A and B are shown apart, each in its own frame.
Chain A
Amino acid sequence: GAVVSQHPSRVICKSGTSVKIECRSLDFQATTMFWYRQFPKQSLMLMATSNEGSKATYEQGVEKDKFLINHASLTLSTLTVTSAHPEDSSFYICSARRGVESTGELFFGEGSRLTVL
């Protein structure tokens, strides 16, 4: 099946620093990728929709200046958590939609666990 890879899988950083998480579709092109945040024992909350070559669309309540998303190519989207604080600690998961149709199947990355000290 299609593979989506996230890197790093775990990252620990100091408060005030910025952290970049990559999401790659390894064997298909993804014009659209989604970024989710998952708190412990909770569901996935959609943060933003990332479209190749254009600005991301953020969900209500998500700070776009805090969570920078760049979808520079058809196989790579990045999420940068700027000036991270302990409350940003979470499990971040991306998904990539295969193909250009809105009904394309979604494939999820393995997730990236961010811990801000």
Chain B
Amino acid sequence: AQSVTQLGSHVSVSEGALVLLRCNYSSSVPPYLFWYVQYPNQGLQLLLKYTTGATLVKGINGFEAEFKKSETSFHLTKPSAHMSDAAEYFCAVSDRGLTGGGNKLTFGTGTQLKVEL
């Protein structure tokens, strides 16, 4: 079974400040990990993903995340927040299809990022 925990349902930062959104996962098999962004009344857009290889993953819009197996974490960061970053962010884990689950995604509860002037 897999699960994702996102600490902090709401995060507020000043424009230009560091963004840190936390994600911890639980998986019985080596996971694939994802971060998605959702703007109001829209679907999800992939920010970045970790599958194999380099543990520091760079995504779109200046975001990056680091897979830390020892900490079972996949925190999302951005050095300098922009007003346009205000949105809902979801961390997700996939079983890679290894458990017969067909590579389904399990989502965290989401973190609403607010960017203030």
Q: Which residues of A contact B (CB under 8 A)?
A: 4, 6, 9, 32, 34, 42-44, 46, 49, 57, 91, 93, 95, 97, 102-106, 108-111, 113
Contacts and interface: CB of A to CB of B under 8 A. Distances in A.
Contact of A49 (B51, B104, B106): B104
Contacts of A93: 43-44
A103 to B, nearest CB: 6
A43 B107 contact: yes
Contacts, number: 52
B41 A111 contact: yes
B18 to A, nearest CB: 25
B102 A49 contact: yes
A37 B95 CA distance: 20
B44 to A, nearest CB: 4
Given A32-B102, A34-B104, A102-B96, A43 B44 contact: no
A112 B111 CA distance: 21
Contact of B42 (A42, A46, A104, A111): A111
Q: Is the interface of B mostly helix, strand, loop or mixed?
A: loop
Q: Is the interface of A mostly helix, strand, loop or mixed?
A: strand
B97 interface: yes
Given A43-B90, A102-B97, A103-B103, A111 B43 contact: yes
Given A46-B104, A46-B105, A49-B102, A109 B43 contact: yes
Contacts of B77: none
Contacts of A44: 44, 90, 107
The 8 closest A-B pairs by CB, nearest first: A102-B97, A108-B43, A102-B103, A108-B44, A43-B107, A110-B43, A43-B109, A44-B107
Given A42-B110, A102-B102, A111-B42, 13 more contacts: A6-B43, A34-B104, A42-B109, A43-B90, A43-B109, A46-B105, A46-B106, A49-B102, A97-B103, A106-B46, A108-B36, A108-B43, A108-B45
Contacts of B104: 34, 46, 49
